[in-house]
């Protein structure tokens, strides 16, 4: 792939990675949150998620799974989800990365979150 080629990534099995730019995430303390895609030309709308923040081997991780159409009482039955390694975090923002296999190598998608 040349430098002028653009890698097209469907992020989180949802929409093109570029659609997440400007998205709004609601991450309340009870873990039942959402994110909203609003970018023109993208499949807009809110997606329900169940999120958590965990440590594994002293490394913090941001985890979530989709809850669209799932009752809270059934949330533990949803097994598939996403895990991001937190690389920076404080009260007002966090940065997370997710590995992706590309041409036999591991690359990372970096997500930047900031509190509004």
Tell me if the pTM is above 0.75: yes
Whether the per-residue pLDDT at 74 is higher than 60: the answer is yes
Domain residue extents for the chain = 10-83
CA 87 vs CA 29, 52, 59, 71: distances in Å: 21, 16, 9, 32
Phi (first) and psi of residue 72, to 5 degrees: -55, -40
Report DSSP letters for the chain, one per residue: --TTS----EETTTEEGGGGTT-EEE--TTSEEEEEE--TTS--EEEEEEEEEEEETTEEEEEEEE-TT--GGGGGG----EEEEEEEE-SSEEEEEEEEEETTEEEEEEEEEE--
Answer whether 47's CB lies under 8 Å from 66's CB. yes
Answer whether 85's CB lies under 8 Å from 67's CB. no
Summarised one tens digit per residue, pLDDT across range 20-41 is 999 999 999 998 999 999 999 9
Mean pLDDT score, 68-79 = 74
């Amino acid at each position: 792939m040349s430098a002028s080629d653009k890698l097209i990534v469907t992020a989180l099995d949802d929409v093109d990675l570029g659609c997440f730019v400007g998205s709004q995430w609601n991450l309340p303390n009870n873990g039942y949150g959402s994110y909203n895609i609003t970018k023109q030309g993208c499949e807009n709308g809110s997606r329900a998620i169940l999120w958590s923040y965990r440590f594994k081997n002293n490394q913090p991780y941001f985890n979530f799974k989709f809850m669209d159409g799932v009752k809270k009482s059934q949330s533990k039955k949803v097994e598939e989800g996403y895990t991001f390694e937190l690389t920076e975090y404080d009260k007002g923002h966090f940065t997370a990365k997710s590995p992706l296999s590309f041409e036999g190598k591991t690359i990372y998608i970096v997500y930047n979150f900031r509190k509004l």
